[in-house]
Each structure stands twice: as C-alpha cells, then as structure tokens.
Amino acid sequence: MDHGIFELLKLIGSLALFLYGMKLMSESLQKLAGNKMRQILTAMTSNRFTGVLTGLFITALIQSSSATTVMVVSFVNAGLLDLVGSIGVILGANVGTTITSWLVAVLGLGKFSMSDLALPIIGCALPLLFSKKRSRKNWGEMFVGFGLLFLALRFLQESMPTNLHDYPGVGEFIQQISFLGFRSWMIFLLLGAALTTLFQSSSATVALTLVICSKGWIGYEDAAAMIMGENIGTTITANLAAAVANVQAKRAALAHFIINVFGVVWLFAIFPSFLHFIGDLCVTLHISKYNPIYSDPRLLEETFSPAARAGVIASINMAMPLVLSLFNTLAKGINVAILIWFTRFMAQLVSRIIPPKAGEDTFKLKHIKIGMLSTPDASLFQAKQEISHYGQNTLEMFHKMVQAYDKPRGEFEKEFDRLMKLEDESDQVEVEIADYLTKVSESRLTSENSQRVRAMFKIVSEIESVADSILNVSKAILRRHEQGVVFPDELNQKVKHMFTLVDSAISVMCTNLNQEYTAVNSKKAYESEHAINDYRTILKQEHLQAIEEKRYNYTTGILYNDIFSECEKIGDYVINVTQAIKEIGHEN
C-alpha cells in the first residue's frame, strides 16, 4: 500500500514538473515576444483569415492556447479587438496548441528522446538566469522550462506502470470502462475535460494521454475521446478570465467554448469513420505499421493470430503518440475550415446569448460610433459630446480612487487592478478621439473650426494626463500598503481635504466640458486651481517642518509628499482643460 502511494506521488510530481516547465517556458516566451506579440495580435486581425493565422502563429510561439485566449479576452475587454476578430484568433489558437502534442510525441516519446539533453540544456541556461540583462534572463528561463518539460516526460514515463496487472483495481476499472462504444467515449471525454479543468492546461493532459497510450493503458478510440474532452476543458481558463470582464469579453470566451463543443459534436457524429480514416492515413504515411483501431481487443482477435497479437499491440502503442497528434491536428484543422466562414454568425449568436447589461460600458466610444458626419460642424459637435463623456469617466475614476483610500491592503489591491484597467481604457479613448479629430482636420475647415480642433486635441491630452496622475496617486497608496506605512490621523485628514479640493476642480472641468464653450465661466475653475495650489504650499511647508522635527519617519514623508504633489498636478491639468475651452470660446 505504501509502495502504491509512493508511485502515485511520483506520478503527480511528474505532472507538476511538466506543468511548471510549460508555465516557465510559456511565460518567458511571452516576455521575449513582449509588445511585438501584442502588436501582431491587434494589427493582423483585419479579416477572418489573417486572424486565424495570427492565433495559430502566436500560440505556436508561446506554446499556450490558454495564454492566447486569455490575451484575446483582455484585448476585447479593452476595446483593442472586436468580437469577430477575436473569434478568428481563437480558431487559430486551437490549431496552434497542437504543436505541443507534436513536440511531446516526436521529441519526448519518439525514438530520440529530448530528455537525454534536458539536463545539459538546463546547465547551459544557468549563466543566462543570473544575467542582469532582462532579455537574456528570459532566454534562460525559456531554456530551463524547455528542459524541465522533457525531463518531466521521462519521469512521467518511468512512474507509469507498464503492466496494469500489477495494480488489479486500476486495471479492472480501466477494462470495465474501455471499448464500450459511445458510453466509453463519453466517459473518457468527461475525464479529459475534468483533468484539463483541474490542471488548467490542455498541454499537460494531452501529454498525460500520450504517455498512457504509449504504455497501452487505453485504446485508440478512448484516447481520441479523451483528447476531445481536453479541448473542451481548455476553454474553462478563458471563461474564468472573462468572469470579471465586460460583456464583449464574456462573448469572446463563450465563442471559444462554442467552437470547441461544435468540434466535438460533429466529430462524434462520424467518430468511427474518422478514426478509420486517421488510422489508414497513419499507415500510408508510415507513422504506424498497423491501423491503430486494432488496439480494440475484439478487432485484434478477429484479424490477427494469437502469435502476432503481442507484436501488433506493441507496434501500435509505440506509434500512438504520433497517431493521436495527427488526429488532434486534423480534427481541429477541419473544425477551423468549417467555422471560419461563420465568424460573423457566431458573433451574432453569442451576442444574443449574452445581451448587453444596462449601464455596462462595452468599451466603445459612446458618441463617435458611425465615423465622420456630413459636415465638420456636426462632426465636431459629436467630438465635443465624446470629450464631455471622457471627462465624466475620469471624474468617476477619481471617485473610485478616493473610495479605495481607506480600504485594507487586500481590498485596495483589487481596486488598484480596476484603476489600472480604467487608465488603460483612458489611453485608448484618447487615441480614438484624437484619430477622429485627425480625420475631421483633413476636411476643409474654417479658421474657427481649425482652432476648435487644435483646442480639442489639447483637451483630450490633458484629460488623459489627469487619469495618469490619478493612477500615480493610487500607486503611492499601494506602496504605502506594501511598505506597511500607516499615516497618522492628521495626515489622513489633510490628504482627504486635498482630495475634496481636487474633486471640486474636476467637477468644475466636467461642467465646463458639458456646456456651450462660448458660455463657459472660468472663474470657478481658477478658484479651484488656486485653492489646490495654496493648500499644496501649506502642506509642503508643514511637511518639511515635520521631517525636521521627526514627527514621522522619512518613508512616511516621501509617500505623503508624493500623494499631495500628484494631486497638485491634477489641478494643473484640469485648469489647462478650461484654458483650452476658453480659447475655443473666444474664437470669434
């Protein structure tokens, strides 16, 4: 019994090492690709075909379809990728992930085993891990992950018993659920989905399936069904990532699930015929000497003599990793070839299943939706409405930061993640409004409208700077939590008073943005800005005196100074918006 537990722990440890190696390799490749990967993802999705190729290329590059789909969900969430484009990328990612199974089958379980070189590869990577240059360190981590991957495969093979009769309970159980036709397919499909959900990696469960088959534990049909289940289980990661995202991201994750379920449904409809086809193809391509369907004991007994059966099974088991890799690739490839023509239909379907929620932002511009209007004046009015909405969203971002100020570290970190997301959205909105204004400026404008466009460029830039400074205040608060600094009540009250002054200034800015520009009264805006400047000066003087008198330590003083100084910067950006508005207001 103790021996059995030890063997089980060896098996679990081998899987854990494989998962860690895959994670290390995937994350380091993502770091090496960096912004280029993101640029490729956003630039090469102009149509469904380039989207598929992009998803395939990136997934093959970073060795993780989960990472690609999670990235797609986040890009849809941020408005950088539309729903139709995201479906194309997900289709490609499904094919790209089969590269891992080929690596495992050819280099890990083939005649030449990469595991023989795993330790030398890790040894060569060791100097890179201690490099001060980040890119070299990433290369080192990638090679270590690659080595661990194949080292784990060797451990997995060694910890997997060849003879199931050594484990009577396990052997009998597998025999009872194997080769039962549709019932077995469903059992192994659910098993594959459950394992992939548990490990959060289809690569790990596919590798486990290939090893199990090479040992002769399960037959061809059941292994293929298990891989189909793993394809469904891998969609859980993207759906978990989308759980806290917006409607569009939830739709992208649902589309991923539908794509894989559809692939399982049509494949089940022709499952025996498709398996025969793959088997015959493997014999033709000399991947396997015998058709792997003879892993079924009934077919084996009907076709081969008792003396030949052991040799046939041994040959099939040896070829099974390559056979299943071909099955996985062709099944997913055919699924993509079918669904690539229905990306828009799928987008409409998931949009109906997940309708927009009232009041939920879909991260699209609220007013600039249909491009240029018939006249520059109408287009500029539309831009004005969008800029006003942009200012209001920035005020709401400030409110969220103020509300999070007193929260404990764990809750604040969650709010900080939301604030970072809001700041990213602010950057994107600035770019989209600026792009729209650029298009307007290319038309024939009066001198007054030209002045208006120039002023609007300045306004959106200043509003974006306000969002940047709000995030900077949040970063200072986060550092306070991380360093365990507790502000005295006196400092907290002064910070909150500064927040009140800034809130008033941004509110005045929003009021001015919402009015007719010619009717804007800048008096309140200047009063708010002066109040912020005066209070900042008072706090600065008090702060320097407190440091001299050692009323609080230097670390506390630095964080305190960063917060009220950044608030003063917000006041500067806000008054710049009103000044730009006044330029428009006095254009005549």
pLDDT of residue 503: 93
Which three-class secondary structure string do you get for 137-165?
HHHHHHHHHHHHHHHHHHHHHHHCCCCHH
* Residue whose pair of structure tokens reads 């989960």 in the numeric block: 66
Phi and psi based region of residue 398 (left: phi greater than 0; alpha: psi -120 to 50; beta: remaining): alpha
* Tokens matching residue 425: 């959205």
Angle ∠(91,27,56) on CA atoms, nearest 5: 20
* Tokens matching residue 410: 């764990």
Short-list 470, 463, 465, 468, CA closest to 513: 463
The helix or strand, by DSSP H or E, that contains position 136, with its residue range, turns out to be helix 134-159
pLDDT of residue 378: 67
Question: pLDDT tens for residues 39-53?
Answer: 565 555 566 788 788
- Cα distance between residue 17 and residue 359, in whole Å: 45
Asked if 55 and 68 count as a contact pair (C-beta separation under 8 A), the reply is: yes
pLDDT of residue 580: 87
pLDDT of residue 517: 74
pLDDT of residue 370: 45
Q: What is the DSSP letter of 483?
A: T
Count, in order, helices (H) and strands (E) of the chain: 23, 0
Over the chain, what is the mean pLDDT? 80
Asked if 194 and 233 count as a contact pair (C-beta separation under 8 A), the reply is: yes
Asked if 503 and 398 count as a contact pair (C-beta separation under 8 A), the reply is: yes
pLDDT of residue 46: 60
Neighbouring CB atoms inside 10 A of 179's CB total 17
Asked if 517 and 585 count as a contact pair (C-beta separation under 8 A), the reply is: yes
* Tokens matching residue 48: 């469904």
Short-list 413, 398, 527, CA closest to 469: 398
pLDDT of residue 102: 83
Name the stretches of the chain with pLDDT < 50. 1, 359-363, 370, 373-374, 585, 587-588
Q: What is the DSSP letter of 63?
A: T
Short-list 108, 201, 109, CA closest to 148: 108
pTM of the model: 0.56
Three-class DSSP category at 305: coil
Distance of CA 385 to the CA centre of its chain: 32
3-state helix vs strand vs coil in the chain, percent to 5: 80, 0, 20
Cβ neighbourhood burial of 216 (10 Å; 0-12, 13-18, 19+): middle
- Cα distance between residue 579 and residue 446, in whole Å: 21
pLDDT of residue 569: 92
Neighbouring CB atoms inside 10 A of 24's CB total 19
Angle ∠(318,322,327) on CA atoms, nearest 5: 130
Asked if 559 and 479 count as a contact pair (C-beta separation under 8 A), the reply is: yes
pLDDT of residue 499: 92
Cβ neighbourhood burial of 373 (10 Å; 0-12, 13-18, 19+): middle
pLDDT of residue 236: 75
pLDDT of residue 363: 40
Asked if 220 and 254 count as a contact pair (C-beta separation under 8 A), the reply is: no
Short-list 531, 525, 530, CA closest to 510: 525
Phi, psi for 213 (deg, rounded to 5)? -70, -40
pLDDT of residue 210: 82
Cβ neighbourhood burial of 182 (10 Å; 0-12, 13-18, 19+): exposed
pLDDT of residue 32: 67
* Tokens matching residue 198: 């548990």
Neighbouring CB atoms inside 10 A of 323's CB total 27
Three-class DSSP category at 392: helix
What residue type is 487 in one-letter code? F
Three-class DSSP category at 406: coil
What residue type is 145 in one-letter code? G
* pLDDT above 90 as % of the chain: 15
- Cα distance between residue 107 and residue 116, in whole Å: 10
Short-list 462, 484, 478, CA closest to 569: 462
